[in-house]
Amino acid sequence: KAGVTQTPRYLIKTRGQQVTLSCSPISGHRSVSWYQQTPGQGLQFLFEYFSETQRNKGNFPGRFSGRQFSNSRSEMNVSTLELGDSALYLCASSRGQGGTDTEAFFGQGTRLTVV
Amino acid sequence: AQSVTQLGSHVSVSEGALVLLRCNYSSSVPPYLFWYVQYPNQGLQLLLKYTTGATLVKGINGFEAEFKKSETSFHLTKPSAHMSDAAEYFCAVSATGRRALTFGSGTRLQVQP
CA A81 to chain B, closest CA, distance in angstroms equals 22
Which among A41, A68, A44 is positioned nearest to A57, based on CA atoms? A44
Determine phi and psi for B84, rounding to 5 degrees: -70, -5
Instruction: Give the containing element (helix H, strand E) for A75.
Output: strand A74-78
Would you call B46 and A97 a contact, using CB atoms and an 8 Å cutoff? no
Pick A31's closest partner by Cβ from B36, B49, B99: B99
pLDDT value, residue A112: 98
Q: What average pLDDT does chain B have? A: 92
Q: Is the pLDDT of residue B34 over 90?
A: yes
Segments of chain A with pLDDT less than 50: none
> How much is the average pLDDT of B3-25?
96
Minimum CA–CA partner of B105 in chain A = A42
pLDDT value, residue A1: 64
Q: Is the pLDDT of residue B65 over 80?
A: yes
pLDDT value, residue B63: 97
Would you call B99 and A4 a contact, using CB atoms and an 8 Å cutoff? no
Pick A90's closest partner by Cβ from B34, B44, B52: B44
Please give the residue that has the higher pLDDT: either B22 or B55: B22
Would you call A106 and B45 a contact, using CB atoms and an 8 Å cutoff? yes
The whole-angstrom separation of Cα A24 and Cα B109 is 31
Q: How far apart, in Å, are the Cα atoms of B31 and each of A65, B25, B56?
A: 28, 9, 15
For chains A and B, CB pairs below 8 A equal 66
> How much is the average pLDDT of B28-57?
89
- The number of C-alpha atoms within 13 Å of B69 and in the hemisphere containing its C-beta is 11
